[in-house]
């Protein structure tokens, strides 16, 4: 019975799902745009070292008569090329660390924490009193609170992820 009601609510309010998907698409594009200054030099260094051609050769060996052994041999060569790029080029290594710290840890968690309060408000309005709030309007009206929430959540959530992974394993 609970599944039937949850499915009925999902279908009845599917516009909210589309709004969340649009939000995720837009902010994913923003995060990709922020990450380009970090990723392009890394990609150029990998291209110069032959990493991408090694990957394509590995798949062509797999599809031809080389089989899985030839595939894994080619991928090991790609791994050696990647390690040599990081060992020989300290700028690429530092850009990779900055990318991981800034984009993945900070920007990703911040931007994807902004939609939680507006989404909860819209869902609460729909479920409790059948009010039809727009996600865009609620996003901008609760933006100051969402920013504070997202900033406060950023340092706490990795700790909870670490503790929950350690406790279950």
Q: Can you tell me the distance from the alpha carbon of 165 to that of 149, in angstroms, rounded to the nearest whole number?
A: 23
Element containing residue 120 per DSSP (H, E):
helix 116-129
Helix 67-88 to helix 90-98 angle (10° resolution) is: 100
Q: Can you tell me the distance from the alpha carbon of 152 to that of 144, in angstroms, rounded to the nearest whole number?
A: 12
The dihedral through the CA atoms of 91, 97, 98, 103 has a sign that is positive
Mean pLDDT of successive 10-residue segments in the chain (169 residues)? 78 83 90 84 89 91 84 91 88 82 81 90 86 88 94 85 67
The predicted pLDDT at position 169 comes to 47
The predicted pLDDT at position 148 comes to 95
- 75 φ, ψ (degrees, to nearest 5): -65, -30
């Amino acid at each position: 019975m609970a599944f039937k009601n949850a499915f009925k609510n999902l279908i009845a309010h599917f516009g909210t799902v589309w709004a969340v998907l649009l939000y995720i698409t837009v902010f994913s594009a923003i995060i990709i745009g922020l990450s380009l200054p970090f990723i392009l030099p890394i990609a150029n260094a990998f291209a110069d070292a032959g990493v991408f051609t090694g990957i394509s050769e590995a798949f062509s060996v797999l599809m031809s008569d080389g089989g899985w052994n030839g595939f894994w041999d080619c991928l090991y060569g790609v791994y050696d090329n990647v390690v040599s790029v990081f060992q020989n080029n300290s700028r690429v290594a530092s850009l990779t660390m900055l990318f991981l710290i800034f984009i993945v840890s900070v920007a990703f968690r911040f931007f994807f924490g902004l939609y939680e309060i507006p989404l909860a408000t819209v869902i609460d309005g729909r479920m409790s009193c059948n009010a039809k709030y727009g996600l865009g309007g609620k996003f901008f009206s609760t933006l100051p609170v969402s920013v504070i929430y997202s900033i406060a959540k950023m340092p706490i959530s990795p700790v909870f992820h670490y503790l929950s992974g350690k406790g279950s394993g």
